[in-house]
């Protein structure tokens, strides 16, 4: 049980190790009541391609980062509050058998474990942490989550007009609402979406814009996006916070099984 590890020396030591591995690229993680529940490498589906990321499950947050040196040095630290996380198992096609979605208000993505057993372990531990958190705080699970972005290479033509072919010049854009890959003209509208854009309207496809406009005729949240000329605009939001960068030193191919420090069976 997680609570048994609070205030133990072993827990404090493990958290200090994690802090150490992120060094100055991370934030202090040792706060009262926090427990490191488990850790391991998962494959994260990024915009361009799948990448190995080191994940740390705490009883209140999920932390992940790029692996610079396996078990020694990580950077590009991301922190996800578990309170807003929803998990969704992927199992339809064989490729996704060991995968699941981690959905949050600000970003959602798919991860894959090496085996189905490891997937079960991860999902069970994360789910338990979320349940415990919500029970303690008395809060309701968050219902609105960011779209999972369709990877770039899954769309050679615009998923909205089905005509526009993507090239170096005709760049891909992602609808922040549904996650589809669309061309510029098919995503020249913006909407205010909860948790995204830091108070600014974000890019959506015409279909999502139309749907939202119909729902909220009296108080439209959409704004025109005609002023947008910046070609790099699509690099805002989603997966782009440096998370897609490859860690040059990470050449390790060996697989380490995840470690969990609290067993769900002991209650
Ligand atoms: Zn289009
Ligand atoms: Zn859309």
* Tens of pLDDT, residues 184-218: 999 999 999 988 998 999 999 999 999 998 876 55
The predicted pLDDT at position 259 comes to: 94
Query: What's the predicted TM-score (pTM) here?
Result: 0.81
The predicted pLDDT at position 223 comes to: 56
Q: Does 141 lie in the same domain as 11? A: yes
pLDDT band for position 47 (cuts 50, 70, 90): confident
Q: Does 134 lie in the same domain as 74? A: yes
Give, as one character, the DSSP assignment of residue 222: -
Q: Does 45 lie in the same domain as 133? A: yes
The predicted pLDDT at position 262 comes to: 81
Q: Does 205 lie in the same domain as 137? A: no
Q: Residue 196 sits in which domain range?
A: 152-224
Cα(214) to centroid(ligand 2), Å: 14
Reply yes or no on whether the pLDDT at 221 is more than 90: no
Cα(83) to centroid(ligand 1), Å: 36
Instruction: Give 154 or 228, the one with higher predicted confidence.
Output: 154
Q: Does 121 lie in the same domain as 44? A: yes
Give dist(CA 110, CA 50) in Å, integer: 9
Reply yes or no on whether the pLDDT at 219 is more than 70: no
Give dist(CA 179, CA 160) in Å, integer: 11
Q: Does 90 lie in the same domain as 60? A: yes
pLDDT band for position 251 (cuts 50, 70, 90): very low
Residue 249: phi, psi to the nearest 5? Answer: -80, -5
Residue 182: nearest ligand to its CA? 1
pLDDT band for position 1 (cuts 50, 70, 90): low
Q: Which CATH number characterizes residue 121's domain?
A: 2.30.29.30
Residue 240 belongs to some domain of the structure = no
Instruction: Say if residues 197 and 237 touch (Cβ distance below 8 Å).
Output: yes
Q: Using a CB cutoff of 5 Å, list residues around ligand 1, an ion.
A: 158, 160-161, 164, 183, 186
Cα(208) to centroid(ligand 2), Å: 4
Q: Which CATH number characterizes residue 197's domain?
A: 3.30.40.10
Q: Does 161 lie in the same domain as 129? A: no
Q: What angle do CA 260, 265, 267 make, to 5 degrees?
A: 110
Query: What is the arithmetic mean of pLDDT over 159-174?
Result: 96
The predicted pLDDT at position 97 comes to: 79
Give dist(CA 34, CA 106) in Å, integer: 23
Cα(44) to centroid(ligand 2), Å: 22
Total tally of structural domains belonging to the chain = 2
Contacts 24+ apart (CB under 8 A), 4-7: 4/262, 4/266, 5/35, 5/36, 5/261, 5/262, 6/33, 6/35
Reply yes or no on whether the pLDDT at 58 is more than 80: yes
């Amino acid at each position: 049980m997680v609570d048994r590890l609070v205030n133990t020396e072993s827990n404090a030591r493990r958290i200090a190790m994690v802090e150490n591995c992120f060094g100055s690229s991370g934030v202090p993680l040792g706060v009262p009541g926090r427990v490191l529940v488990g850790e391991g490498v998962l494959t994260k589906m990024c915009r361009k391609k799948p990448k190995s990321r080191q994940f740390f499950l705490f009883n209140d947050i999920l932390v992940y980062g790029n692996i610079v040196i396996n078990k020694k040095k990580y950077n590009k630290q991301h922190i996800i509050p578990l309170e807003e996380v929803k998990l969704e198992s992927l199992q339809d096609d064989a490729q996704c058998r060991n995968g699941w979605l981690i959905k949050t208000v600000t970003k959602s993505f798919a991860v894959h474990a090496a085996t189905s057993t490891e997937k079960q372990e991860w999902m069970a531990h994360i789910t338990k942490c979320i349940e415990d958190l919500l029970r303690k705080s008395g809060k309701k699970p968050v219902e609105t989550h960011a779209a999972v972005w369709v990877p770039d290479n899954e769309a050679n033509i615009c998923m909205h007009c089905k005509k526009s072919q993507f090239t170096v010049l005709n760049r891909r854009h992602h609808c922040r609402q549904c996650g589809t890959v669309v061309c510029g003209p098919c995503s020249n509208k913006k909407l205010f979406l909860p948790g995204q854009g830091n108070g600014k309207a974000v890019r959506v496809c015409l279909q999502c814009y139309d749907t939202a406009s119909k729902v909220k005729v009296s108080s439209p949240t959409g704004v025109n996006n005609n002023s947008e000329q910046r070609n790099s605009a699509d690099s805002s939001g989603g997966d782009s916070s440096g998370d897609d960068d490859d860690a040059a030193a990470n050449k390790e191919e060996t697989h380490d099984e995840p470690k969990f420090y609290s067993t769900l069976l002991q209650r």
